[in-house]
Amino acid sequence: MLLKKMKKILFVSAFALVASAQMSAQENVDTLSTSDFNLQEIVVSAPVMQVTNSKQEMSHAELNRDNTGQNLPYLLSTSPSIVVTSDDGIGVGYTYFHIRGTDQTRINMTMNEVPLNDAESQGVFWVNLTDMASGVSSLQVQRGIGTSANGGSSFGASVNLRTLDASIPESAHPGPIRGEIDFNGGMYNTFREMVKIDGYWGDMASKKGAWHLGGRFSKVNSDGYIDRAWSDLLSYQGELGWQNSKTAVTLTAFGGKEKTYMAWYGVDDAHAYSQNEAERRYNPAGEYIDKNGNIAYYDNQTDNYQQHHIHLHVGHRFNMHWTLSATAHYTYGTGFYEMLITDWTTYEADNITQKGLRNHFYGGILSTKYVHEKVDVQMGVAFNQYRGLQYGNIDTTLLVQRCFIPYYEGHGLKTDANIYAKANWRVLHRGREKLSLYGDVQYRLVDYRIWGDNEETSYLDARDAINKHHTWHFFNPKAGLTYDNKGHRLSATFAMAHREPTRNNFVTNTAPEDPKPEVLFDYELGYSFSSPGVLKSGYAMPWTIGLNLYCMDYDNQLIATGDVSSVGYLNTTNVKDSYRCGAEFQFGVNWTPWFAWRGNLTWSRNRWRDGNTWRTISFSPDWTAGNTFSFHYAGFNADIQTLVVSSQYLGNYEDVNAQLKAYTVTNLLLTYALPIKNNNIPDITLKCQCNNLFNTKYVNNGGTDGTYVWYFPQAGINVHAGFVVQW
């Protein structure tokens, strides 16, 4: 079997080096180039080299144009192959997303190249970092494996974020403090307040250098569309940076705190697809029968968590060819959720439980980069360690008094280290014709141990002990080629990745053997064309079009069963053979100086082998599409966004009774920048967002345990409006 795998790797690597390529209408392959080299790049470590076209770049302005308090996944909803979901029905509380059918525990997410994914669950919980978009200078979504990066393996995509730019232009001179105030309010008592300031002082030309200081604070509150699905969220961010012509140092701190009422139970199909608003908004969380026989709800059926991150980045440029960057980071997280447990036969209150965790995550990253006219080389090493505690408390006084006693305690220790080297060789670089070869190798070591009580054990039973210790050695090669000529791009890549099981995979496992690591072989092929513009009535009409084909072939993929654990994670099972293959089509055209049209369409086939039968993988729609019409004139902007998602199964056995119906949702975004000519008066922009413009009664998430099926209804038409003041 090993020999067969090695032959497959060697064959595909050779193919990728000789004929590989991929598509993108909006990017440049030579991201490591001397022409764009500046100190800003090394403030947050070297940029990710890209040879594939299956990515999307978004600036701070693009991310925040329609930011009214929804969590980050909703701001990415128009990107290709992305499906977003929420528990509260409007995207303010717990929100999630899938890319190419892959959930976010298999999407590698980094902030300034520091891992954001939790080391044990491998998820990112955006509710802990509300309004993150306000503090992000740029964001990149890379579908497929992508190039070597820090953190967990990318099994569906990578999302790379950068905080607000703390670098200082060489021409900078001390000036007034810049600031921004952002406020909006809307339906379901949804409010967002954000304030941000930054400024700099000093002289870049002197040896003393220049300083930059910036900060942001955000507060988001909402009642949620679902009954009692309220959210009370805050986040903060601060940056202090110093740099001269060769060295840059940046200290970044960010974090958040959340308290949300539980909305993760869902409802049955009769409620979810009802035309009655009260039935759609029904929330069974915390429900019980009181002593008088009346229906009541437990007030503190809540989730409570806080997370704090500190990053220290140091970068130095030795000359025009060599740079070195180093990052040290630390993350602390703590919190719990509290819930009322009822007797399922009488629905009377039985007990109150708290399940919580405390964790520490820390490490260091070191990388060096060599940039030359013909070749770019980057090498890096990273070491990260996670220490976590899982605990449970219980109160059996039946709401008479709060008297919690411990009933389980579990521990986790995970060490993750990797070393990589990658190179980009520009074989041809003449005029508008370019040919580049790319190679990337990574070795990753993961040592993971969990011990103590199993948190999935009921408090009524004897404590099940769990004691697991695994060490994995992963080798991940990647290769590719791109060819550009007069706006045409042809490219292809091959990449291989391994991924270890999560804590939840172990504690919910019922098989006689432990869950296995996953292996992915990712093949990408694409073509794109970008036109500089065709003269039309005196206007040069630029347009772009692209098609990307992909095949993601898995060995021992852990696919979601549709059921969830007691702490809300998707339960999974290993399947020996499975794949995700599809085609991603994108286009964009500026018809006139005031009207643009862009869109995307993805068709995919997602299957796993069940004996001799190939079945559809859960949470994997065959079709997704996005369309945006943009109008802009004299400070006025209007975007009409339409999202289409085909039906998808909630389980892996194609049960039509456990299925999400296809849906189409249209949103309208309006902004108007007031025509203020006086430099002493701040810039003011008014905005109004109308979500689900046609009041579609739709459901975008759910689950099944094989017997019961539950769904998460989403809000109908809802309107939010506000203003932005900048100076």
Instruction: Give the DSSP per-residue string, 272-301.
Output: HT-S-HHHHT---TTEEE-TTS-EEE-TT-
User: For residue 11, what pLDDT is reported?
Assistant: 39
Name the pLDDT band for 507 (thresholds 50, 70, 90).
Answer: confident
* CA–CA separation, 32 and 379 (whole Å): 13
Mean pLDDT, residues 704-717 taken together: 93
Mean pLDDT lowest among 33-42, 202-211, 316-325, 456-465: 33-42
Q: Taking residues 674-680, what's their average pLDDT?
A: 86
d(CA 442, CA 320): 26
Residues 6+ apart with CB under 8 A from 561: 570, 571, 572, 573, 618, 651, 652
Residue 7 reports pLDDT greater than 50: no
What is the pLDDT, as a whole number, of residue 457?
A: 61
pLDDT for the residue 33 = 31
Measured between alpha carbons, how far is 522 from 102 in angstroms, rounded to an integer?
A: 14
pTM: 0.90
Task: Look over the chain and give the mean of its residue pLDDT values, rounded to a whole number.
Answer: 87
Least confident of 328-332, 413-417, 574-578: 574-578
Mean pLDDT computed over 549-577? 80
For residues 263 and 226, the answer to whether their CB atoms sit within 8 Å is yes
> Does 486 have pLDDT greater than 80?
yes
Please, which pLDDT band fits residue 256 given cuts at 50, 70 and 90? very high
Beta bridge partners of residue 386, listed in sequence order = 361, 414
Amino acid 51: pLDDT = 33
Strand partners, 33: none
The predicted structure's pLDDT at residue 563: 61
pLDDT of residue 461: 53
Q: Quick: pLDDT tens for 365-399.
A: 999 999 998 999 999 999 999 999 999 999 988 76
Query: Which pLDDT score is estimated for 124?
Result: 93
pLDDT digits (tens, 9 = 90+) for 133-147: 999 999 999 999 877
pLDDT of residue 2 exceeding 60: no
pLDDT of residue 5: 45
Give the pLDDT confidence score for residue 204 in this predicted structure. 65
Name the range with the highest mean pLDDT among 223-237, 460-474, 521-535.
Answer: 223-237
Q: Give pLDDT, residue 30.
A: 33
- Residue 141 near residue 76 (C-beta atoms within 8 A): yes
315-to-320, 436, 705 alpha-carbon distances in Å: 14, 27, 50
pLDDT value of residue 540:
73
pLDDT at residue 577 greater than cutoff 50:
yes
pLDDT exceeds 50 at position 201: yes
pLDDT tens sequence across 46-91: 333 333 468 888 888 888 988 998 999 999 999 999 999 999 999 9
What is residue 28's predicted lDDT score, i.e. its pLDDT? 33
Q: Which of 135-149, 181-195, 576-590 has the lowest mean pLDDT?
A: 135-149
pLDDT at res. 29: 33
More confident residue, 175 or 658: 658
The rounded percent of the chain whose pLDDT value lies above 70 is: 86
Is the per-residue pLDDT at 217 higher than 70? Answer: yes
- Structure-model confidence comparison of residues 410 and 536, the more confident one: 410
